[in-house]
Amino acid sequence: MDGPHLWLQGGYAMSVTYMSADVLALLDLPDPSGLTADQRRGAVCVWGPEPLTGESAEGLGEQVDESGERWFPRACKKHTAKHAHGALVAHAAICKQCTDDADACDIHRVLYRLVRQEWR
Ligand SMILES: [Zn+2]
Ligand SMILES: [Zn+2]
């Protein structure tokens, strides 16, 4: 056993699209060197050919590639949900908190929300 955990209850200020570095790492973003300029600046989905509009796009944070250059991946809801689902499965298998109580796990909650968006 790990001893007592301190989990914040309520008052979450997390927006729907907020993603921590932990979550982004799980989403398995493509290698930026293989992307087009439009994909790197967020005009086109990082996982597909579809152009993005503000409403359909999910921001995936500001990233820095190996040469230190910044890029701004965004993805359509469909691809985000698909990758979030894969991430959720992989995460749940290794997360102690999810085994105890998945609702108390920040990563689980963010990923779950992304998966659900597909059906909105
Ligand atoms: Zn897409
Ligand atoms: Zn978890």
Over residues 47-105, the pLDDT tens digits come to 999 999 877 788 898 899 989 999 999 999 999 999 999 999 999 999 999 999 999 99
Distance 79 CA to ligand 1 centre (A): 4
What is the pLDDT at residue 12? 39
Q: How far apart are CA 58 and CA 17, in angstroms?
A: 7
Token pair 């086109």 is at which residue? 44
Tokens of 43: 């005009």
Could you report how far apart the first and last alpha carbons of the chain are, in Å? Answer: 39
**Cα atoms found within 13 Å of the Cα of residue 84, Cβ hemisphere only:** 24
Which residue's structure tokens are 């921590």? Answer: 20
The alpha carbon of 109 and the centre of ligand 2 are apart by a number of angstroms equal to: 8
Say if CB 115 and CB 81 are below 8 A apart: yes
What distance in angstroms lies between residue 107's CA and the mean position of ligand 2's atoms?
A: 6
User: What average pLDDT does the segment 1-19 reach?
Assistant: 43
Mean predicted confidence (pLDDT) in 94-118: 92
Q: Look at residue 3 and tell me whether its pLDDT is greater than 60.
A: no
- At 39 the three-state DSSP class reads helix
Other CB atoms within 10 Å distance of the CB of residue 5: 10
Instruction: Tell how far the Cα of 107 is from the centroid of ligand 1, in angstroms.
Output: 22
| Residue 63 Cα to ligand 2 middle (Å) | 23
Q: How far is the CA of 97 from the centre of ligand 2 (A)?
A: 5
Task: Please state the rounded mean pLDDT for residues 10-25.
Answer: 62
